[in-house]
Amino acid sequence: MARIFPSALLAVVSLLLPPSGLAGEWNPDKSVKIVVPFNPGGGTDQQARLVEKEFMEEFGQPLSFVYKPGADGAVGATELKDYPADGYNIAVHTFPLIMMNTLTGKGRYSMDDFDYLGISSLDVAVLVTRRESPLDTLEKFVETARSRPDRKLTVGVVEVLGPSHIAALKLQRLGVPMNIIPMAGGAKGIAAVLGGHLDALMSVKGASLNTVSKLNVLAVASSGADPDLSGVPTFTERGFPVEAAAARIWIAPRGLPDDVKARYEEGFRRIYGKDDVKSRLAGAGQPVTFESGQELGRMVEAFEQEAGELVEYYTATKGR
């Protein structure tokens, strides 16, 4: 109940407010171009597609989708940076991937090329094994991993330098030896762990919930217990401070006028505060966690140094 109440309140407030903001505010007078730097139909695309209708209601103009997939989202971000910062060009992306791309030579941009409009959803990393596996708790996993440093446990991750990979690298840095294997996407990873070809998989929650009845979820890489995964401990509470999540983020080219930026933030806050949006996104496995652009800015800043270290650690240890 405590979780529903604030959102219900927000919904009521948003109903009372005039639908298209206050008079004199900036509002687009033609369609807004949205760059989706991934393939149509994927998680990031859905994040935008599922609020397409609400965007139109809120801003009075439709979104016009431009797909620029390639190089794990780096191509789209590189493209967006050169678009005019006039409020008619925005993008949806995934953090920390967008930042990691700048460190691995995939993207020709830096995080300073963007203005942040907000975070719409968080997907935390989870460590899973298949139901039949004897490694059904984090303790057993760590113990086994430490007992056989010459025949390391094979642990899949679902995206190179994505949140699951980051979580695995962090765990390894804390003294849990693993053989980290990047898999091409969540589906392949889950299939491999279910088939017994991997000892464990560091996945993200959104990609594992469908199959959760056939998996042991050993731990979740969030700061507190996860409401969707009752009884699953966090890494931190078991003595391994590992936190990693993918955030779906909304960005624009740097230099957006203040009123435009404020308008977008307010608009997105209102869109993601709506109950039907929340239930729709929760149904799609991407529950809403709205945070402001400033918060995203803080996240980016806080992660900057660690990201560099992780990439360095990764390049130094890969293939060993």
Partner 1 sequence: MELSTMFSALAAGSLNLLDPVNLLVMFVGVAIGIVGGMLPGISVVTTLALFMPFTFSMPATTALIALGAVFCGATYGGANAAILINTPGQPGSIATTFDGYAMTQQGRAEEGLYTALLASAFGGVVGALLLLLFFEPLSGIALKFGSEAFFWMAIFGLTTLAAMSPGNVMKSLLGGCIGLGLSTVGLDPADGFPRFTFDCYDLVQGLDMVVLMTSLFSFSQMLFLLESGDGYIADLVRRPKAFLTALKGVWACRKLLTLMSCLGCFIGGLPGAGGSVASIITYNEARRWDRNPDRWGTGVIEGVAVPEAANNACVGGSLVPLMALGIPGSASAAILMGGLLSQGLTPGPQLLENNADVAYTFISSLIFVNIVMVLVGWVLVKVCSRILDVPKLVIIPTVITLSILGAYSLRNSMFDVLVLLLTGGGAYLCLKARISPASIALGVVLGPIIEEALSTTIMRSYSSSLPELLVFSPMSLLFITLSAVSLLVPVYLARRKGGAGSGGSWKPSARNVLRYDFLAALVCTLAGMFFIGESLELTGVAGIFPLVVFSCVAALGLIVLAQELGKRAVKADRVNYVNVVLYFAFAMLTWFLVEPLGFYTALFVCMVIMLCYGTFAVRRHALTAGNAARCLLLGAGITFAEYACFAWLLHVPTPVGLWI
Tell me the window of 21-29, 100-108, 117-125, 251-259 that interacts with partner 1 (CB under 8 A): 100-108
Please select the residue that binds partner 1; options are 50, 144, 275, 313, rule is CB under 8 A. Answer: 50
SS3 of residue 148 by DSSP: coil
Q: Which residues pair with 204 in a beta bridge?
A: 125
Asked whether the beta carbons of 205 and 124 are under 8 A apart, the reply is yes
Question: Which of 25, 30, 18, 104 has the alpha carbon at shortest distance from 63?
Answer: 30
From CA 176, how far away is CA 154, in angstroms rounded?
A: 12
Q: Mark residues 190-219: x for contact with partner 1 by CB under 8 A, - for none.
A: xxx-xxxxx----------xxx-xx-----
Q: Does 108 bind partner 1 (CB under 8 A)?
A: yes
* 287 contacts partner 1 (rule: CB under 8 A): no
Q: Where are the alpha helices (DSSP H) in 158-287?
A: 163-173, 186-194, 205-208, 258-273, 275-283
Q: Which residue lies nearer to partner 1 by CB, 103 or 138?
A: 103
User: Taking Cα atoms as reference points, which of 85, 64, 101 lies closest to residue 259?
Assistant: 85
Distances (CA, A) of 110 to 183, 198, 288: 27, 35, 27
Helix (H, G, I), strand (E, B) or coil at 90: strand
Query: Closer to partner 1 at the Cβ: 191 or 262?
Result: 191
d(CA 154, CA 255): 45
Nearer to partner 1, 62 or 233 (CB): 62
Q: What is the CA radius of gyration of the chain?
A: 20
If the CB atoms of residues 42 and 233 are measured against partner 1, the closer one turns out to be: 42
158/296 with CB nearer partner 1:
158
Residue 317 interacts with partner 1 (CB under 8 A)? no
Q: Please choose, out of 4-12, 70-78, 217-225, 266-274, the segment that lies near partner 1 by the rule CB under 8 A.
A: 70-78
Binds partner 1 by CB under 8 A, chosen from 188, 298, 302, 312: 188
Residues that bind partner 1 (CB under 8 A): 33, 39-42, 45-46, 49-50, 52-53, 64-72, 74-75, 78, 104-106, 108, 151-154, 160-161, 179, 181-184, 187-188, 190-192, 194-198, 209-211, 213-214, 279-280, 283-285, 318-320
